[in-house]
Amino acid sequence: MNYACIQTAAQARGLSTKRPAAGQQRSGTYTPTVSDLDEYVRLLEDLGTLGLRRPYALMAFGGWIDASWAATNAVRYLVDQFAAPRIAELDPESFYSFTDTRPRVVVRGGGERTVRWRQGRWHAARLDDDAEHDLVLFIAPEPNLRWRTFTRVVLDFMQQLGVEALLTMGAVLAPTHHRAKVPLRGWATDDTWRSALRRRGVRRNSYEGPTGISTILAVGARERGLPAASITASTPNYLGNSANPRTSLELLRAVGDVCSVRMPLVDLERGVRSYNEQVDQLLANQPELRAEIERLAESTPEEPEPSAPEAESSGGGELPGGAEVVRELEDFLKQLRKTQDDEPGNT
């Protein structure tokens, strides 16, 4: 990808691709393209200075298929670990119903209130000097509106960045134990990536039914000749209301293996050990609930079928019931959320 050409084209149209100077407010600077990206995408970095090497795009969407915030937190973790600068933002006005995907208000020093709009964000992660590929990290809430336009805009900008393949991550609830092997399923749009998924042991995803934006993007990428793959992890349904770092870890391990990219996972592995200890400690104080969960582990097949995404909000899942057990589970989840160091962020 010739980034100098992008910059020259922008300047010819009277658009600046320069990053705002320190202390200056970012203006409405947008990327130039025949598909009117300037209406939707705001540049925060000079694309000509990125120097990305044959990048892969790694994407996650909050909402419908992000159980335990596993996929979005995986991308956030990489943004932090790589100190990946935000290079562009997607204007949320055209793609979100703000009564469904609400902005957040933050109170700063002096009581000043600031509104944070939930929107799509691109980050550029430069890997080790000897790496063949860098990463473009994209995180967003799943859009409420105009999916075809959203897909076109996102793919247009990915191709402007020279992305060579698109990988999406997701997570669904399933009757699986928190210390059991994390089941992974996936699919890809071409034979090379299908083979990579098989070598990693990612089972083929044969799901049919209502779908999410990740599938729409992958199909759109295929139509452009851009390879795409998707990996979905199953996460314990009895922990569905808490951020689960172990599911995030297994997603990133799989992506690293499939893409032959070294992932900096030491901090996340440490977090997983702490998380498992917290869960075990809380369960130790609730013997009836622990017995139900252990029976779940004994009766669960090696690769359990995940719950349909629509059922994720139901709360009960496949856990053996009884009103008392359900109440214990609710109390348990409240305690677990209090012990987690960081609340899951909002995209």
* CATH number of the domain within which 139 lies: 3.40.50.10900
Residue type, 303: E
On whether residue 37 sits in a domain, the answer given is no
Confidence at residue 295, expressed as pLDDT on a 0 to 100 scale: 78
Q: For the segment 130-150, what is each residue's pLDDT rounded down to a tens digit?
A: 999 999 999 999 999 999 999
Confidence at residue 17, expressed as pLDDT on a 0 to 100 scale: 40
Q: How far apart are CA 296 and CA 177, in angstroms?
A: 7
Query: Sign of the C-alpha dihedral, residues 122, 126, 127, 130?
Result: positive
Read off the pTM.
0.79
Written as six digits, the tokens of 242 are: 């808490």
Confidence at residue 33, expressed as pLDDT on a 0 to 100 scale: 40
Confidence at residue 321, expressed as pLDDT on a 0 to 100 scale: 38
Average pLDDT for the chain: 82
Does pLDDT of 113 surpass 60? yes
On whether residue 329 sits in a domain, the answer given is yes
Q: How far apart are CA 154 and CA 190, in angstroms?
A: 20
93-97, 114-118, 202-206, 321-325: which has the minimum mean pLDDT?
321-325
On whether residue 14 sits in a domain, the answer given is no
Does pLDDT of 105 surpass 80? yes
On whether residue 33 sits in a domain, the answer given is no
Chain-centre distance of CA 5, in angstroms? 31
On whether residue 229 sits in a domain, the answer given is yes
Confidence at residue 226, expressed as pLDDT on a 0 to 100 scale: 97
On whether residue 254 sits in a domain, the answer given is yes
182-191, 287-296, 313-322, 338-347: which has the minimum mean pLDDT?
313-322
Q: For the segment 78-90, what is each residue's pLDDT rounded down to a tens digit?
A: 999 999 999 999 9
On whether residue 237 sits in a domain, the answer given is yes
On whether residue 347 sits in a domain, the answer given is no
Nearest residue to 122 via CA among 94, 165, 66, 161: 161
Q: For the segment 7-41, what is each residue's pLDDT rounded down to a tens digit?
A: 444 444 333 344 434 333 333 333 334 458 889 99
Mean pLDDT of 248-276: 96
Q: How far apart are CA 47 and CA 318, in angstroms?
A: 48
Nearest residue to 184 via CA among 198, 165, 167, 195: 198
Q: Are 54 and 164 in contact (CB under 8 A)?
A: yes
Q: Which residue has the tokens 């050409």?
A: 5
Query: Sign of the C-alpha dihedral, residues 49, 53, 54, 60?
Result: negative
Count the domains in the chain.
1
- Tell me which residue range forms the domain holding 81: 50-339
Mean pLDDT of 205-225: 94
Confidence at residue 138, expressed as pLDDT on a 0 to 100 scale: 98
Mean pLDDT of 118-127: 96
